[in-house]
Amino acid sequence: MWLLHTTRFELKEFPDASGVPGGYAILSHTWGNREQTYQDIRAIAEQCKLTGDNPRDKTSSKIRKCCDMALQHGYEWAWVDSCCINKTSSTELSEAINSMFKWYWQAEVCFAFLVDVPTASIDELSAEGSPFRRSRWHKRGWTLQELIAPAVVIFVSRTWERLGTKAELAQLLEEITHVPQSILTRQRYYYQASVADRMVWASNRVTTRVEDQGYCLMGLFNVRMTIIYGEGSHAFQRLQQKIMKHGFDMSLFAWGAGWLRNAPLRDLGLEFATRRDIELLNDYSYLLAPSPASFIHGFEFTPLHPHPKQIYPPPVLKEWQKARARPFHGVEIPTAAVENYGIVCRFPVFEAGGIVVAVLLCENKSREHMGLLLQRDPLSYDPKRPLHYTSAVFNDTSTPDQQFPLAYRLVSLGDDLYNLRFNGKRVKPRWRTLYVQPRPEALYSPDTSIARLRLNCAVQPAFRIPHWLIANFDMLGFLLTPETPEDELPLRLQLSGTLYGEFIHLDLGICHTGDHWAKVLIHHDDDTSNWNTPHHIHDCTEHHVSSWSEGKKLFGDTATRGVELAFSTCTLASATNPRTLAARIELKGSVYAHIEQQARLLRHGPELPQSIRTVPSIAPASVASQASASLRPSWATFIVSVEHVVSWPMRFVRRPSGSI
């Protein structure tokens, strides 16, 4: 590792963090627009050798203040990620990312520099809505390990004045970050927390690069991975596979917005949708989570639980006690391993009314045992090894007019491991081997969604939706998906902003007069009254594009929610169909302005491209409860219910027949 001398401001390489004379201090911070790099510090040192200047005078204020504080605490060496990693070397970068948790763990002290927090007392820091509570530092993916790994963390304000230590602020930090005080003060070590609990700590954090969702958690799970920037969301998939390989904590699979309560289905107003089309898939349909944000609730893996309600595996008992001590007709530990056909799992399993349930041996915070709902894939290549998807769908019988079934991934099986119950009846799980689909196939991967529209590939399309437009909506958290077959007009496309409970329908068609027509329907959680408006009906006087002034029309209003739809001649298709129109969409109003602001804060990058513009916010917009995962394209709409209390639309995609 490279360390910076705190007086000479020179870089020196040490073979190992444990071999630094007198130890070293380390900096935790959020990056600004212009951070000095390894090359910058090297260049400054070379320049100062020639001029005789002091390198200190040419380093940034942040690096200078960090070195000054380290020196005040008696340390000759300091580590700052921006300038102590040679990022031009892929080998050094990979080593640094894989070693970073260890480097923070072995540091004598960590200075957490909060650039957005003024100097304040602990009471002021603790106040509701304080700058400390709202600091960007608490929301970054990389700073989670920087909070947990060092034994001593000293928080400093934007003027480098002491705010308090991790130990002094442990209760407040738990409120903000959900990392327990016991972990922060090392009464328990981080690796004693369940996989699900550790994922929950990361669930509200963001990274600039999507790959870092996986890379920033490697140390927290004691795994190492090859660093491949460009692999996108696959990095988090690889992280989960590594966790599987190096442990057996099945709480890795206990993710999602909520669970089906332990009660008879009729008492919940539900019935199993026995004719569910297994081809309707979404993120809930796979064993591995799409991102850390999917982990909403903490779960404990019973065999590793420090204080389980019921011990499993059971202790050695007398012969007459063994029958009750073995709830699954044999004592085993669940296993999961990646194979080319899927993830092969060994779980206690039971079937009831067409539903397959795997007992995860995980407890929620109410000490209820959780089951994973599964559905067989009728299109599995190997009938002797049927592939399963996760989640099951139920019809809501309490509202006869409800057209959207409810999708659940997890189910509570009660609080007695030896008397598990489902749908009000006792069940008797047995150990079985199952194959479960780990993640979306390439066709349904989020990385391919932008260029998926067949509409854009037709020889003579009537309309075209530019890829940049789809990508820009994706940046806002909206997914563009076809709601009707793409080879037919009229066509309905949907923009799903599930995170915010906002949806937009775009209907496109050719009138019998030969005119292009288009209309927009705006939906949100508080008003779904026009959700079932037919996509094929249009008003010639309102929806013909040729009648629009300058080829554009506003749907909704500019105060709260407005969608300005505009069309122009598509130059790409002019050779085959000079009448092809290219779409442009602008969002207006306070609600969409708030969404843009949230997206920008999450990404912590430059301003969003101007192709999607929103007017300034007029009033704060109410935002729906956050869903746990980004959702995939669909031709059908379902509702995901959280503990049968909160619900929101879940989007699905239809899989081509014969594929898996």
Q: How far is CA 219 from CA 1, 89, 254, 506, 646, in A?
A: 16, 21, 21, 45, 35
Q: State yes or no: cis peptide before 292, omega within 30 of 0.
A: no
Stated pTM of the model: 0.78
CA angle 116, 122, 127 (to 5 degrees): 70
Cβ neighbours for 505, distance < 8 A, ≥ 6 positions apart: 483, 492, 493, 494, 495, 520, 521, 522, 523, 533, 535
Give whichever of 214-228, 281-295, 302-316, 516-530 has the largest mean pLDDT. Answer: 214-228
CA 339, CA 389: separation in Å to the nearest integer?
Answer: 15
Tokens of 70: 């380290």
Counts for the chain of helices (H) and strands (E), in that order: 15, 33
Task: Give the separation between CA 561 and CA 617, rounded to whole angstroms.
Answer: 11
Q: Are 623 and 500 in contact (CB under 8 A)?
A: yes
Q: Choose the weakest-confidence range: 66-80, 239-253, 549-563, 642-656.
A: 642-656
Q: What percent of the chain has pLDDT over 90?
A: 57
- Spans of all domains in the chain: 2-190, 253-442, 450-631
Give residue for tokens 């001593």: 152
Contact partners, residue 91, CB within 8 Å, separation at least 6? none
Highest mean pLDDT among 259-268, 274-283, 361-370, 610-619: 361-370
Q: HSE (CB half, 13 Å, CA atoms) of 103?
A: 24
Banded model confidence at residue 649, pLDDT cuts 50, 70, 90: very low
Residues 162, 169: Cα–Cα separation, whole Å? 12
Report the chain's C-alpha Rg in angstroms.
28
Residue 225: partners with Cβ closer than 8 Å, 6 or more residues away? 98, 214, 215, 218, 235, 238, 239, 242
Using the predicted structure, report yes or no on whether residue 573 has a pLDDT greater than 90.
no
If residue 89 lies in a helix (H) or strand (E), which one and from where to where? none
Tokens of 502: 């906002």
Task: Write out pLDDT tens, residues 257-299.
Answer: 788 898 888 888 888 876 544 445 667 789 999 999 999 999 9
Q: What is the pLDDT of residues 317-347, one digit of tens each?
A: 555 555 555 688 888 889 999 998 899 999 9
- Residue 132 is encoded by which pair of tokens? 């400390």
Structure tokens at 161: 């004045």
What band does 316 get if pLDDT is binned at 50, 70 and 90?
Answer: low
